[in-house]
Structure 1
């Protein structure tokens, strides 16, 4: 059995969908396809969510843009306007539009999940219908019916026992060899839509791989494999042919965008190999992540850049020491406001932390911390991480930049810079 996860870039156009079909049809085994929203649809729906919650008049025009983008792709793929895909996709847009005609709730994260989830529902509907049209019968599955989570909107936590039972019932392969389903999405036991965190489609594929005990998980990307840097950032980036689960976890933890931070853990537990491959040059092998990874003959420096960061500096107002009880209360506040902490450093009287710039949560967090502490912050900074660093790699990343905070260990160096 294969599980293939395809990102939005692989199906961002009619040509992309056609290329996707070629890849799928080159395999004859039982296959589950996990798909993201098309192109930049998630970003567009996030903007619509912001406007909806702000009760902005821009919602309607942005909704029409998203709808037009998808129907342009459909029109290129399906010459016959009577094809069922038109009615199915139109029905999804009608449901989305009806939600946007209502009033926002008092829970932004709930509204986010109800709106943004349509991206995956629409993309999988189009792709499933086109696969069938091109001679590959398949079954479309609403993943929300079997991947069950709690009601932590935007960060749904998997109910493993219930999901295990429902996933085995759903993906039985009794009536089809190919399933098409959504990444990123989950559902509560009361059938409310949740999501698994930004870029969570990889995690969906890993969960299904774990539950179904697959032989291998393949994640198809717009890069040749796992690179030692984002090639859109550093044009001399090199491919890593083979790495261990441990190294993959480290890279994901520090923010490498090729894999989702939670993806590796489920497959590592069952030693399921993960192949990261290019959907552009799909005959190439890509990068293999497994327990059998050989130690690389030469450890290339791996560069990871996280933009849109905020460096927060916190001091007790009475200049007392930062003690365990201070840190405990501060970390409790970060957890309460669901702020992802990317780097911490403390001295006798101060505590510094680098976090993602999530403005709604950040403003609430800073307001609460300011009640008991003196708070200063720098926004729009970058966090640069170098795995397997050397002097040349550090100089390359920091030359001419102001370093606000620096940390080094034997294998990893991190810099907050402006």
Structure 2
């Protein structure tokens, strides 16, 4: 015999019920079947609500009854031929009238006893099973119906009764000994007490009903039919990459179901375990899918982890104090008081010093538990030997489950380091001696990040998903997005990095998509996006709380540069080509670096100096290896180098500056480049990264611009001033030629002093032949004394700047 169980979504409506009936019909051709069904989807919740509403003396319970009645009558109309509806409608009417009577009593008395609550809640399965049995009979004529209350007996613990297996197994065996039906349909969830009152087996108890039947008849297999393809490696609603587990042991399945895998009710496995009856979890809507097989000998794989699961709404209770050390019975008293209050303990950890005991319970029980514990330990608390019970709420438990974990070293370490890298704080840890489960308590707000991070670490071949939030989609930003599109497939296949752009913003619009923005039409999406608001952008990034989040600033905006701390303090990495933050007050720069270390959030700004050239990265390696920077000479402005390399008697200074802007070599405000401010920022950043403390005003800026040019307030006036002072620039060029030199804007640092300014570079200088928009940097160090370490290459342009930003993003992916 095979036992099948169909859950609430499988019998949610007539369409779904028809699919379930097709499965039963097909299987009944070769096997005798016992079929257990749940209430129609949502009905049990309505029944519970009706009971509470009536007990609260709210007449709206009558409207709820009408909803329930209507739902079942509609199913009858769609599933049962009109000619055969009379008897089933009478049966449903009779049950609904009994339900009304019970609820009327609750209303009159203004109370809802646990016994009455059980009886009310059980109507869902009773109604659905009778309708489905008759509908099934249209396809399998030899179909019978059996009220589970007649064969499953429990104690009188209403709400979650315990099964009397001795009596129950005998009743089930006796029934099937004389059964002649090919298919027998049972309502799940309900049973009866010794005196015949309806009891229930707990929410999800229909699985348990099926397991009880399977164990009693020694079924060849128990099939649980639901709306997913089996048990998953994680909750697929939270972890999109989660996949079905094909085979799993009974013990692993119990651990996963206990820790929140809702596809299986935790007590289900116990009845079938003794006889090793396999359990199949299948999808009603994809019956051809394999699903999950729970058995004694699951197939072994290379991954010792079978699944990651969690329990929401957990409170952590801590009892501690010197009065517990060496005192026998403290733990007994603690757990005894919780047992007396009917509070289930989900999680336990105790320090070896016996100074404290930490337990996890459902948040709903936390206040009651604290009152009871403080009362029990009142004497010790009064004498200051034990502290009052500490309660922490808004927590959840995340657990790794796997039978083979005990045979693999370092699983715990990988789990903790993975969470730590994403700034997920672990409040408590528990690991049983069997090493089948490693559990941690974390903040509830971090559960999505934690599950995705752990799943990525243990199930996705170490593929790291990077979630980008990009502000600035102008010239450089557009090139950056194009590079992501071009390299996305390569990165995933060869570097195991999955790049997703979650948000894009410019000065006018912003767009968010938690599943990743499709980049083939990103311009249209941002045009259709919501109004840009920096405050809202920050809030959205933080609220999403995605793993490996990276804020990418591709602007030259002062206000944007001032929000980095808000991201870093939330474990969101920052990648920026915006030089303002790192060249601001030293205290601000230092704070950003400290936040980066404190919250394990990378702060990378390679493109602040030299665009895509590895200048800052090289500098960091020198310092990290113990070298010391003593002197820096550099041409750090690709735009100024381009301008002075192209400025000639036939190509005016005004025209070449214009062309530099068109090429994307200058800032939007070209005066920032020509005034020397941009170069000063760059040398300041190199000085600070070398380990020296310096402010912007400490750098001597020998500007070559006339005063009138410097005092302009907009680009139009600035360019007009360049024309007006053409003779000044021409004279600089003539002087350089007379000295057989070339004009270069040079930045220098030595002996704690720094300066920037235009210099006449002689022919024997390595700076003389610097062409186009190239940059060059010379580092004189303790190791590079006579011959400096030299870095040279293209130091401006949208494409190379975008590539530098892209490289910083990849650096984070490789951490």
Residue in 1 that maps onto 2:67 = 65
Superposition CA RMSD, Å: 2.4
Which structure is higher in helix share? 2
1:11 offset after TM fit, Å? 0.6
Q: For residues 192-228 of structure 1, what are the alpha-carbon distances to aligned partners after superposition, in whole Å with 9 as ceiling and x for unaligned?
A: 1111122121111111111111111111121111211
CA pair 181-293 structure 1, distance change in 2 beyond 3 A? same
1:20 offset after TM fit, Å? 0.7
Q: TM-score, normalised by structure 1?
A: 0.91
Mapped partners of 1:164, 1:221: distance in 2: 26
Which structure has the greater CA radius of gyration?
2
Mapped partners of 2:163, 2:124: distance in 1: 21
Mapped partners of 1:84, 1:400: distance in 2: 62
Question: 2:257·2:264 contact (CA, 8 Å) conserved in 1?
Answer: yes
Residue in 2 that maps onto 1:179 = 184
Which of these residues, 361, 372, 382, is aligned with residue 368 of structure 1?
A: 372
Residue in 2 that maps onto 1:16 = 16
Mapped partners of 2:18, 2:232: distance in 1: 26
Residue in 2 that maps onto 1:381 = 395
Alignment of 1:262-277 (within 5 A): 262-277=267-282
Q: TM-score, normalised by structure 2?
A: 0.48
Mapped partners of 1:108, 1:314: distance in 2: 34
Mapped partners of 1:400, 1:126: distance in 2: 52
1:123 offset after TM fit, Å? 1.0
Taking CA–CA contacts closer than 8 Å with sequence separation of 6 or more, which of the two structures ends up with the larger relative contact order?
Answer: 1
Question: 2:248·2:306 contact (CA, 8 Å) conserved in 1?
Answer: no
Question: 1:305·1:385 contact (CA, 8 Å) conserved in 2?
Answer: yes
Mapped partners of 1:335, 1:295: distance in 2: 39
Residue in 2 that maps onto 1:290 = 295
Mapped partners of 1:55, 1:350: distance in 2: 46
Residue in 1 that maps onto 2:91 = 88
SS at match of 1:101: helix
Q: For residues 128-183 of structure 1, what are the alpha-carbon distances to aligned partners after superposition, in whole Å with 9 as ceiling and x for unaligned?
A: 11112334331111111110011111221111221122112223353311111111
Question: 2:44·2:124 contact (CA, 8 Å) conserved in 1?
Answer: yes
Question: 1:231·1:237 contact (CA, 8 Å) conserved in 2?
Answer: yes
Alignment of 1:116-127 (within 5 A): 116-127=121-132
- The more displaced of 284-293 and 73-82 is 73-82
Residue in 1 that maps onto 2:44 = 42
Question: 2:133·2:185 contact (CA, 8 Å) conserved in 1?
Answer: yes
Question: 1:225·1:278 contact (CA, 8 Å) conserved in 2?
Answer: yes
Structure 1 unaligned spans of 5+ = none
Question: 1:4·1:205 contact (CA, 8 Å) conserved in 2?
Answer: yes
Which of these residues, 440, 448, 454, is aligned with residue 415 of structure 1?
A: 440
Structure 2 unaligned spans of 5+ = 378-387, 403-410, 444-815
Question: 2:250·2:294 contact (CA, 8 Å) conserved in 1?
Answer: yes
CA pair 300-161 structure 1, distance change in 2 beyond 3 A? closer
Question: 1:221·1:277 contact (CA, 8 Å) conserved in 2?
Answer: yes
Mapped partners of 2:74, 2:228: distance in 1: 26
1:280 offset after TM fit, Å? 1.1
1:384 offset after TM fit, Å? 1.3
SS at match of 2:54: helix
CA pair 301-134 structure 1, distance change in 2 beyond 3 A? closer
CA pair 137-118 structure 1, distance change in 2 beyond 3 A? same
Question: 1:309·1:383 contact (CA, 8 Å) conserved in 2?
Answer: yes
SS at match of 1:83: helix
Question: 1:109·1:154 contact (CA, 8 Å) conserved in 2?
Answer: yes
- The more displaced of 302-311 and 118-127 is 302-311
